[in-house]
């Protein structure tokens, strides 16, 4: 079974944990490392003959259009990560629409190809921001990968579905591909443990993450692997300022080990762009049918997960 290989293309200073230390208006004054790190990822993927999905920040695409074209030319899928990497929980619907619309148009204009996938900054489509799905559908997105079915201090839909499914909303229907979790029994409780990558991969052994993927695949479900270009860059500039210890720990943990862990997973598992994996699991026909059915859903209906 093929699993979804995804990269959230943002620089180290875009991380939400640094919001109180770095102002967006200062981003251009900081040394950028996103292009060099993303080129390293492209080389890594080429070395392992694998294609993936690059959820690209509009801010990055605007400053590095050649990188956008390089990703597309290599046969990878381009998807949208918004423009300014602002949590949806801190936006109004109008601000969100403008942010995502700007990024989507920019990516499509540069690459010459439609952009149909979206991932929210910091996974912030939550129970409080389900209205974002209506806007995404109205903007022409086919799928989303933003709802993490875990408990977390910033994001999460703890009772959400764990596997790819169709989401119905006022603007139509979309596919949702949640980040991967496995079930763990803690006494009488069962909790979802995140195994999708990122900081979770830097924290846990790659072999353990690989075993989790095997478990999901045996259940007939694809896994999601995600990471950021800055996670393979242990020499990135250190951020000073009022950064909480927990956020600093999450960001800098095991950066020097990440590339080796990625190589392990790329060797032992099969990966493909998210759009292709969704089509394999849900079926192109089912997705198209769901979208057609949802045209009858009134604009006042709420999103259903």
Q: Which residues neighbour 43 within 8 Å (Cβ) at sequence distance 6 or greater?
A: none
Residue 152: is its pLDDT beyond 90? Answer: no
Q: What is the pLDDT of residues 7-36, one digit of tens each?
A: 999 999 999 888 888 999 999 999 999 999
Cα distances (Å, whole numbers) of residue 269 to 87, 124, 230, 272: 32, 28, 23, 10
Within a domain: 26 = yes
Q: Which domain holds residue 155?
A: 2-296
DSSP lists the bridge partners of residue 141 as none
- Residue 216 above 60 pLDDT? yes
Q: Is 206 helix (H, G, I), strand (E, B) or coil?
A: helix
Instruction: Judge whether 305 lies within some domain.
Output: no
% of the chain beyond a pLDDT of 70: 92
pLDDT reported for residue 202: 96
Q: What is the pLDDT of residue 305?
A: 38
Q: What is the dihedral of CA 59, 60, 65, 70, to 10 degrees?
A: -150
d(CA 205, CA 60): 31
pLDDT per residue as tens digits for the range 245-299: 888 888 999 999 999 999 999 999 999 999 999 999 998 766 666 555 544 433 3
Where does residue 221 fall: left (phi above 0), alpha (psi -120 to 50 degrees), or beta otherwise? beta
The owner of tokens 């393979």 is: 232
CATH number at residue 139: 3.20.20.370
Q: Which residue has the higher pLDDT, 171 or 87?
A: 87
Distance (Å, rounded) from C-alpha 48 to C-alpha 126? 35
- In the predicted model, what is the mean pLDDT of the chain? 91
Residue 70, in any domain of the structure: yes
Q: How many beta carbons lie within 10 A of that of residue 140, not counting itself? A: 14
pLDDT tens figures, 42-80: 999 999 999 999 999 999 999 999 999 999 999 999 999
In a domain, 302, yes or no: no
| Structural domain includes residue 182 | yes
Pairing type for strands 224-227 and 2-9 reads parallel
Q: Looking at the 3D structure of the chain, how many domains does it have?
A: 1
């Amino acid at each position: 079974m093929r699993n979804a290989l995804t990269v959230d293309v943002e620089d180290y200073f875009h991380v939400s944990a640094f919001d109180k230390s770095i102002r967006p208006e200062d981003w251009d004054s900081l040394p950028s490392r996103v292009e060099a790190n993303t080129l390293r990822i492209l080389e890594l993927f080429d070395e392992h003959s694998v294609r993936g999905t690059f959820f690209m920040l509009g801010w990055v695409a605007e400053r590095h259009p050649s990188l956008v074209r390089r990703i597309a030319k290599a046969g990878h899928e381009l998807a949208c990560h918004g423009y300014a990497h602002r949590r949806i929980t801190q936006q109004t619907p109008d601000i969100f629409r403008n942010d995502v619309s700007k990024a989507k148009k920019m990516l499509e204009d540069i690459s010459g190809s439609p952009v149909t996938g979206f991932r929210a900054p910091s996974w912030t489509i939550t129970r409080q921001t389900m209205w974002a799905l209506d806007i995404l559908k109205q903007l022409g997105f086919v799928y989303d990968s933003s709802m993490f079915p875990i408990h977390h201090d910033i994001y999460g839909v703890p009772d959400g579905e764990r596997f790819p499914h169709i989401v119905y909303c006022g603007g139509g229907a979309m596919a949702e591909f949640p980040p991967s979790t496995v079930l763990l029994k803690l006494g009488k409780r069962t909790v979802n443990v995140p195994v999708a990558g990122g900081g979770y991969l830097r924290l846990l052994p790659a072999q353990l993450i690989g075993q989790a993927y095997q478990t999901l695949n045996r259940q007939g479900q694809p896994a999601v692997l995600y990471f950021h270009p800055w996670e393979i860059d242990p020499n990135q500039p250190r951020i000073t300022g009022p950064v909480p210890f927990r956020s600093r720990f999450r960001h800098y943990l095991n950066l020097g080990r990440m590339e080796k862990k990625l190589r392990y997973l790329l060797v032992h598992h099969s990966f493909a762009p998210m759009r292709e994996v969704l089509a394999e699991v849900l079926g192109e026909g089912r997705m198209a049918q769901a979208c057609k059915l949802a045209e009858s859903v009134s604009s006042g209906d709420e999103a259903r997960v």
